Amino acid sequence: MKLNGLFPVVWRRSVLLAVAAFLACPVFASGGEAAAPSLTGRMSTLVIQLGLIWFAARLGNMLFEKLRLPGVLGELCAGILIGPYLLGGLGLPFHGFEQGLFALNPLVLVGDTPVSPELYGLCTVASIILLFLVGIETDLHMFMRYSVAGTLVGLGGVVASFVTGDLLGIWLLPSVMPGQTFGFLHPACIFLGVMSTATSVSITARILSESRKLDSPEGVTTLAAAVIDDVLGIIMLAIGTALVAAGHSDTGRINWAEIGIIAVKAIGIWLGATVFGILLSRRVSSGLKHLGGETEIAVAALGLALVVGGLFEEAHLAMIIGAYVVGLALSRADISHMIREKLHSVYALMVPIFFAVMGMMVNVKLLLDPQILTFGLIYTAVAVLAKMVGCALPSLLCAFNPLGALRIGVGMVPRGEVALIIAGIGKTQGLLSDEVFGVAVMMTLLTTVLSPPLLVAVYRGSASGVVRRKQKADGRAAELKPIRYTFANAEMVSLVLDGFLGELRNEGYFTHTLNREEGLYQARRDDKVINIACSPTQIDIHAPGELRAEIKSNVMEVAAHYEQFLTDLRAVLHDDRAQFEIAPADLEVLQKRESVAAHLPTDRIAAHLRATTKEAAIAELIDVLDAQGALRDREGASRAVLDREHAMSTGLGHGIATPHGRTDAVDHVVCALGVSRSGIDFGGMDNRPVNLVLLTLFPATQNGRYVSFLAAALATLNDPSLMSEIVQCETPGAIHDVLMRTAG
């Protein structure tokens, strides 16, 4: 692969700009003395750090996507690169940043967290935003359908991971911590087991969302299992802490009753909040609608997720679980897609901070020790296999085939924020040594790095991961065929779609663009959902049976609206002949620019049209041009004119019609003029018979000239005395002479 192909000029310039920004931005910073920096100094540092994080995360995202790897992995690696353990810890020759832009300043850090509280706070808010929107994006019906499978998968993964992680600690810890005796209830072994249980729902959810697999049976089961995993991980942490505390107590006895109470409390709060939120989702949605417009609703919904997330943390559960519960409760509401659309910019702004900061917390230098490296690789391999096997086996009992089981197993592999949080708690409480903490970080990093490409690989293709069974009602009636409307062209599809969505909005529906490129739209009102799929000439409307009559009535209203619009437009255009009159000076300019007479030799003039209908008149004039060798393709020319005529009549009123079309059958403008003394019904604006029919063909590549040509033709022919004189002419030559005299 050539370097220039992978890094074009714009890329190289972006990288150089990033390096320059990294080196130059501290010039403008102040503060940073040996004493604790002032509040203003800390905020200025935060602003600089945020700017660099956004820049680096975006470059990392773009680079990894160019390498056909998930962009989230690029954001994570960008955080590792600029973090305090690598570039961010390098001394800079600027006042206040001698220890580095992301230096580990013990005066502002909390515990062993290697980033400032301000940055970690933004990271926490970003994780809540991510899980809230993931919850909203979840198909609740499918989530409930696969909740049992998710529970079994989550339990299987937790049990397998905890047991193997703990046993692995008994086997390997003596090599890095000699002189100690390790058993199943040793604090380090317990934490190795607990850290191995937590699945990173954030990373898995984002990969599935980017791959559009979040609402697949495997995706929903994985997400349900990952959430349950996080809940069980917190419970395991509580149990592990209780076990460690009991081991350090004077009696040495384990209070299993207290541990049971902790477990029941955690499960009860999570399960109760989820059920309560789902049952009240419609009332919550209705209450949010009273707060104002769409932006206000979205902001208030996010605020609710933050509040519930904080309450979950106060109840000793993870904030991200509370945020996910709120999103899941609102996923059935008609405002769910609107909230996603309005918060998309917030998501794009905040979520890269989360993954970059997760990367910044990785101490890469610690992982270079050979013993820790060996221990970490073995621990990681066992953690991956334990999750895959422990989660895949139960899924085979839940109507998934081996491919679906593999997808679920791989989706449960990544560890992330929860594993790091658990490791941090163990280290801050003095229960984990630096070596064990380094092993935990390595496992978290490697599973996070390996999982995205593995997830993309196993979800590639359209093969189903569910065991196929005979079609069942599944609690719902069989899906009805869509209401289908077929149109002549894409312009008509666009007009009808806009009108139909407008009618739905007037009736209280929230309309959303799901995918503009694929023509997918959705309208929701309470529990009523209408899905719309558009192609260039077709609109398919999917809706339950009770809405079909309402939908057809709405489409008829749209048609009636456009029909009335055309009627009013014709009335305006036909209101007075003066509408067509052009000042003499302007008429002279038009005729000099586009001389109609110059395009009408005598052999292209039919002085006595035999046709009595507009289709016959068009065919007769096409024959005139074809007989003179002016057409390469007679049928193509005829089709172009008739298609334009069917779209809207070219009868302009006052006895004039200008049928025309653009076609590859001609290389330049060609015309034919026909005269009908009895008159032909062209369905024109004034419903009067047409005496003059000017047929014109333009090359398909000409987009603008035909407008000026037709304007010049109309300006020339729209003269009652001229029309009377032409109609009285008996020969094509006489008509040609009249036109030439008019052109002057």
The CATH number of whichever domain residue 215 belongs to comes to 1.20.1530.20
582 and 568 inside one domain: no
pLDDT band of residue 626 (cuts 50, 70, 90) is: very high
212 and 255 inside one domain: yes
The answer to whether residues 698 and 661 touch, using CB atoms and an 8 Å cutoff, is yes
Contacting residues for 130 by C-beta, under 8 A, at least 6 apart: 202, 205, 206, 320, 347, 350, 351, 354
Q: Is residue 479 part of a domain?
A: no
Q: How far apart are CA 586 and CA 399, in angstroms?
A: 78
| Among 224, 134, 141, CA closest to 529 | 141
Q: Is residue 369 part of a domain?
A: yes
533 and 637 inside one domain: no
The answer to whether residues 376 and 367 touch, using CB atoms and an 8 Å cutoff, is yes
| Among 599, 734, 153, CA closest to 409 | 153
Q: Which element (helix H / strand E) includes 657?
A: strand 656-657
Q: Which element (helix H / strand E) includes 53?
A: helix 39-66
pLDDT band of residue 59 (cuts 50, 70, 90) is: very high
What is the CA angle 701-707-710, rounded to 5?
A: 120
Q: Is residue 468 part of a domain?
A: no
**Residue labelled with tokens 């509408």:** 579
pTM of structure: 0.58
Q: Is residue 229 part of a domain?
A: yes
548 and 587 inside one domain: no
The answer to whether residues 507 and 488 touch, using CB atoms and an 8 Å cutoff, is no
238 and 137 inside one domain: yes
83 and 221 inside one domain: no
Q: Is residue 478 part of a domain?
A: no
Which pair of structure tokens corresponds to residue 454? Answer: 């593995």
308 and 432 inside one domain: yes
By three-state DSSP, how is residue 704 classified?
coil
160 and 97 inside one domain: no
| Among 312, 311, 315, 343, CA closest to 330 | 343
Last residue of a domain, one of 441, 457, 473: 457
Last residue of a domain, one of 516, 538, 572: 572
Q: How far apart are CA 76 and CA 103, in angstroms?
A: 19
Q: How many CB atoms lie within 10 A of CB 14?
A: 17
| Among 305, 298, 337, CA closest to 321 | 305
pLDDT band of residue 190 (cuts 50, 70, 90) is: confident
Last residue of a domain, one of 53, 82, 106: 106
What mean pLDDT value characterizes the chain? 76
pLDDT band of residue 616 (cuts 50, 70, 90) is: very high
28 and 128 inside one domain: no
Task: Supply the CATH number for residue 675's domain.
Answer: 3.40.930.10
Residue 547 has pLDDT above 90, yes or no: no
Q: What is the extent of the structural domain holding 705?
A: 578-743
Rg (Cα) of the chain, in Å, rounded? 36
Q: What is the share, in percent, of the chain residues with pLDDT greater than 90?
A: 7
- Cα of 384 vs its chain's centroid, Å: 30
pLDDT for 142-162, tens place per residue? 667 667 887 888 888 888 998
Q: Is residue 469 part of a domain?
A: no
* pLDDT at residue number 722: 84
| Among 232, 227, 258, CA closest to 245 | 258
Q: How many CB atoms lie within 10 A of CB 734?
A: 16
292 and 378 inside one domain: yes
Between 471 and 525, name the one with better pLDDT.
525
Total of domains in the chain:
4
535 and 659 inside one domain: no
Task: Supply the CATH number for residue 540's domain.
Answer: 3.30.310.10
Phi-psi region of 83 (alpha: psi -120 to 50; beta: other; left: phi over 0): beta
* pLDDT at residue number 720: 81
336 and 191 inside one domain: yes
Q: Is residue 472 part of a domain?
A: no
The answer to whether residues 198 and 447 touch, using CB atoms and an 8 Å cutoff, is no
Q: Is residue 474 part of a domain?
A: no
| Among 547, 520, 535, 530, CA closest to 486 | 535
> Letter for the amino acid at 253?
R
| Among 620, 722, 636, CA closest to 673 | 620
Contacting residues for 381 by C-beta, under 8 A, at least 6 apart: none
